[in-house]
């Protein structure tokens, strides 16, 4: 679909059998591109397309302090094999932001755009508070759990006080 829309992409490819087979003849430090044709059957529609695999054999990952095999799929004509891992890491940071944001998604079936907008704004506010004040101390999911627990405790105490006043 991305090829048909002329949208440039760079996607990490897990090391399936085809990728492993392509990496076998390469030596440590080797980098190359190969065309990969594929077929996909979805919703009774057959899609035939191709992509370019960028294969990197035993490239040192400084952060992990070890050598790794990498495979990326792309439709870009100019491929900087020396900088492709760094380019992908920049993309991965964007994906991580979306994944973190999804952890705060409040499920609503409301079709009222005002309610949906309010919930979206609330999610963004939670993410901003975490990012500014708590990012170094706790994961976003941990932060959400702590906020939820704190809210539940306060609600329980308020309900206890209210029941004492009515008794």
Q: Name residue 60's beta-bridge partners.
A: 67
Q: Does pTM top 0.85 for this prediction?
A: no
Instruction: State the total domains in the chain.
Output: 2
R_g of the chain, CA atoms, integer Å: 24
Q: Which of 47, 82, 117 is the last residue of a domain?
A: 82
Q: Is residue 131 part of a domain?
A: yes
Same domain, 111 and 151: yes
The pLDDT confidence band at residue 28, using thresholds 50, 70 and 90, is: very high
Q: Is residue 90 part of a domain?
A: no
Same domain, 16 and 75: yes
pLDDT score of 44 more than 80: no
Same domain, 113 and 162: yes
Mean pLDDT of 142-158: 91
Domain that holds residue 109: 104-166
Question: Closest Cα to residue 29, out of 93, 89, 102, 81?
Answer: 81
Same domain, 43 and 74: yes
Q: Sign of the CA dihedral 126, 130, 132, 134? A: positive
CA distance 132 to 25: 48
CA distance 119 to 101: 12
Q: What is the pLDDT of residue 26?
A: 93
The pLDDT confidence band at residue 92, using thresholds 50, 70 and 90, is: low
Q: Is residue 95 part of a domain?
A: no
Same domain, 74 and 133: no
Q: Which of 29, 48, 82 is the last residue of a domain?
A: 82
Average pLDDT of the chain is 83
Q: Is residue 142 part of a domain?
A: yes
Q: Which of 27, 49, 82 is the last residue of a domain?
A: 82
pLDDT score of 73 more than 80: yes
In the sheet that holds 10-12, the strands lie side by side as: 10-12, 66-74, 45-61, 31-42
């Amino acid at each position: 679909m991305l090829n048909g829309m002329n949208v440039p992409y760079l996607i990490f490819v897990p090391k399936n059998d085809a990728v492993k087979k392509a990496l076998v003849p390469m030596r440590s430090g080797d980098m190359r591109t190969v065309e990969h044709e594929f077929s996909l059957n979805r919703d009774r529609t057959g899609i035939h397309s191709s992509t370019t695999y960028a294969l990197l054999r035993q490239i040192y990952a400084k952060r992990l302090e070890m050598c790794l095999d990498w495979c990326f799929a792309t439709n870009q004509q100019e491929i900087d094999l020396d900088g492709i891992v760094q380019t992908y890491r920049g993309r991965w940071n964007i994906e991580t932001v979306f994944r973190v944001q999804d952890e705060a998604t409040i499920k609503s079936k409301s079709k009222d755009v005002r309610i949906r907008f309010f919930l979206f704004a609330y999610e963004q506010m939670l993410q901003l508070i975490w990012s500014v004040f708590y990012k170094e101390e706790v994961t976003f999911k941990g932060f959400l759990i702590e906020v939820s627990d704190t809210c539940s405790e306060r609600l329980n105490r308020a309900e206890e006080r209210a029941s004492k006043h009515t008794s």
